[in-house]
Amino acid sequence: MTGFRSSVVYQIYPKSFYDSNGDGVGDLRGVIEKIPYIASLGVDHVWFNPFFPSPGRDNGYDISDYCAIDPAMGTMEDFEELVEALGAHGIGVMLDMVLNHTSTEHEWFRKALAGDERYQRYYYLRDPKPDGSLPTNWVSKFGGPAWEPFGDTGKYYLHLFDRTQADLDWHNPDVREEAARVVNFWRSKGVRGFRFDVINLIGKPEALLDAPEGTDDRAMYTDGPDVHTYLQWLSEQSFGQDADSITVGEMSSTSIQACIGYSNPANHELSMVFNFHHLKVDYEDGQKWTLKDFDLAALKRLLGEWALGMQEGGGWNALFWNNHDQPRALDRFGNVDEYRYESATMLASAIHLLRGTPFVYMGEEIGMSDPAYTSIDDYVDVEARNAYAELLAEGRTPQEAFRIVHRKARDNSRTPMAWDASATAGFTTGTPWLRPTGQEAVNVEREEREGSILPYYRKLISLRHELPLIAEGAYAPWEQDNPDVLAYTRTHEGDRLLVLCNLRGTDSEVTLPEGLETAEVLIANHADADAWVAAHRAVRPRPSALPLRPYEAIALLERAEPAA
């Protein structure tokens, strides 16, 4: 395993990766069987979405026992074997810690509901307002009020997500101790990587107040000052004791300044952070359940602002286009019908050559895209079904509502990994829990035999390991006003890399900076890139601009002059 700056993390949604026993649900033994494939990618860590016991209301993010394995996923012995088997390939394990909330099926919540005052203090329990209305006007991220009656006590409990996900009160030192115990339990199993789910929500104020009229209620509970205090304490009590730990925080509705604090090494909090601003550029007025073409200018601005801001503040970004909560980036920012290869490899180039640690979501490396679903009945996710119902309630036709959900649903990325072209995509011998589509054309077997996206990913991952310029180099934007092209430079000890990514399905061009007359093509998604650049140089010995084909990616490397 390498340091986190030169690492690449592969994300596995276990339920959808590989099913070893034919019950239609992926499991840990399935992952073990596929370790040779995972190792072939060259990745350094595998982040696993939760496989702990859970009622499954939010696909495992409603945890009922933090220190056990969901029987549908396997046993603790399977997990221990998995850690050892990945470790034999130099691959670390990163677990998902969902410490902002528990399932209402968790023992803590059940004891609280039974009247145990100690455990009642684990949660945000509040009386209604004097007029009988809810404690605050906050809205659940899954729709509806963020408060639910706490049994027949007359009180309400806070749930920022589904009503079965009760928020933990981190002001209570017992809750913090429990969190440390959970992390330390998994450290004792050899785990050195942790991804903390919506961790910037744990610093809610003790006094929960209404959001002023016309303002976003997220400002009332996000990025509170106590988050830093709690993370520093948790680090000191657990993962911070390991020199080889790697941690990432998922930050909801966050800011650059807050994330600098979370990830600056001097603060002893986290290695890096996820933010989602760049994945909201196809939201109309900031609302997810809308239809809008992505705003390329905003995408470039956000990627540039975060890269520069985090660099200047000493923070570190976790880089990604895809995960279990997002529709496939290939459908959002590329063209899967005419330019699948070019789109997939261009998007990969844009992220993997940037300053930060790249995350690859399973299936991304073979060019998987959103499923060809035709009915809301194809979807399982509670968020998608709730959104569909709300869109109908707003007056949308079933066709309009489905079109929106089909574009934005989280299940789009949760379809089973496509291993082969069979009806079940080689994922299971049974009936998949979520129906795969498109595997006839896009699958691992075909990519290994004749594909070009998978080899490209392997090369990008290898380059980050080989070149300190990519892992450590400084970032600077280039041609920010170009309407089609994402371009930036990386510099390190005299070496300079110019990365050019055409995000349009049409020809474009980009002006080249001075001094790149002899730059070599480090990587490109067109096989003729060397000849393409050379031919342009022959026409213009000192080229001022380079034409780019649809979704073309080229990285030009100018090496430092060797010392005399």
Which residues does the annotation mark as catalytic? 197, 250
DSSP symbols for 26-81: --HHHHHHTHHHHHHHT-SEEEEPP-S----TTTT-S-S-TTS--TTT--HHHHHH
- CA dihedral of 292, 297, 298, 300, whole degrees rounded to 10: 130
> Is 23 strand, coil or helix?
coil
**Contacts of residue 360, Cβ cutoff 8 Å, sequence gap at least 6:** 8, 9, 10, 11, 41, 43, 322, 457, 461
Amino acid at 464: R
Dihedral over Cα of 226, 257, 302, 335: its sign: negative
**Are 418 and 440 spatial neighbours (Cβ–Cβ below 8 Å)?**
no
CA dist., res. 28 & res. 195, Å (int): 18
Instruction: Give the number of other CB atoms < 10 A from CB of residue 75.
Output: 14
The pair of three-digit structure tokens given for residue 312, joined into one six-digit string: 């200047």
Q: How far apart are CA 347 and CA 370, in angstroms?
A: 16
Cβ atoms of 503 and 485 closer than 8 Å: yes
Residue 1's contacts (CB-CB under 8 Å, 6 or more residues apart) are 7, 44, 45, 90, 91, 92, 244
Give the DSSP H/E element, type plus range, for residue 538.
helix 529-539
Cβ distance 105 to 66 under 8 Å? no
| Torsion of the alpha carbons at 61, 66, 71 and 75, rounded to the nearest 10 | 130
Residues linked to residue 57 through DSSP beta bridges, in sequence order: none
Q: How far apart are CA 387 and CA 189, in angstroms?
A: 39
Contact 463, 522 (CB under 8 A): yes
Q: What is the distance between the alpha carbons of residues 103 and 164, in angstroms, rounded to a whole number? A: 6
- Tally of CB atoms within 10 A around 317: 26
Classify residue 531 by burial, with Cβ atoms within 10 Å: 0-12, 13-18, 19+: exposed
Residues 58/382, Cβ–Cβ less than 8 Å: yes
CA dist 26 and 362 (Å) reads 13
